[in-house]
Amino acid sequence: MNEYKTPGREASAELTERKSRFIGYVRPVQDPKGAACFLAEIKSLHPQARHHVYAYRLRDGQLCRFSDDGEPQGTAGKPVLDILTGRELWDACFVVVRYFGGILLGTGGLVRAYSQAAAQAAQAAGTALMRPCVRVSLDCEYHQYGKLASALALFDGWEEESGFGERVQFRAVLPAEQKTAFARQVQELTGGQSKIIEEEEKYFPFAAGENGNLSNK
């Protein structure tokens, strides 16, 4: 899996269905422990809620888990997990709490309410595309700095920090697949005087904008 989608941030949403309150929460998580901590936090926030339904989906081991937490089997946890699957979200956990309003909703009503609470929370969170990137460092002459910064942006990269001494030193991040092409551009723009030094490779988020383009901003 070279890239994957995850919630853009932690978020929540609430709806009322025939006097029952459903509050959906979503958070990016990295492992089962993170999901368990999230569930514990929501339970402590809503100790009087009748149900604390959860579902999570993790890249590591392609792990999926869910719980109906006392609701009829298949009416709560699985529909919430289906929102994760349908939106192709990984490393994410949903918790949906229900305050019972005294009116039974039936199987269809429960599935609809839990699904909507999760979907609205996901909508509020937005989506980030996680891409494998490399963090690099390089230095250059002052008159070369502007050209290198512009070239970095053309390769979907961004500058993290810079220092100005006898030469300009800066650290940058760019998609892993762009590393070779950017290194070649650095050589061309500096006449071979500068080269990039790879420091580490890790995933970074690229948020989807309204026009569908991706940016780390």
Q: What is the pLDDT of residues 23-61, one digit of tens each?
A: 999 999 999 999 999 999 999 999 999 999 999 999 988
216, 202 Cβ separation under 8 angstroms: no
* 3-class secondary structure per residue, 104-127: CCHHHHHHHHHHHHHHHHHHHHCE
The pLDDT score that the predictor gives to residue 14 is 97
The pLDDT score that the predictor gives to residue 2 is 82
How confident is the model over 6-10, as a mean pLDDT? 94
Q: Mean pLDDT of all residues in the chain?
A: 91
Domains of the chain plus CATH, in order, are: 4-125 (3.30.230.30), 130-215 (3.30.70.240)
Tens of pLDDT along 109-137?
A: 999 999 999 999 999 999 999 999 999 99
45-48 own/partner pairs: CB under 8 Å, 24+ apart: 46/97, 46/99, 48/99
Stated pTM of the model: 0.79
The pLDDT score that the predictor gives to residue 213 is 37
Within 10 A of 126 (CB to CB), how many other CB atoms are there? 12
* 3-class secondary structure per residue, the chain: CCCEEEECCCEEEEEEECCEEEEEEEEECCCHHHHHHHHHHHHHHCCCCCEEEEEEEECHHHEEEEECCCCCCCCCHHHHHHHHHHCCECCEEEEEEEECCCCCCHHHHHHHHHHHHHHHHHHHHCEEEEEEEEEEEEEECHHHHHHHHHHHHHCCCEEEEEEECCCEEEEEEEEHHHHHHHHHHHHHHHCCCCCCEEEEEEEEEEEECCCCCEECC
Within 10 A of 160 (CB to CB), how many other CB atoms are there? 12
How confident is the model over 138-148, as a mean pLDDT? 92
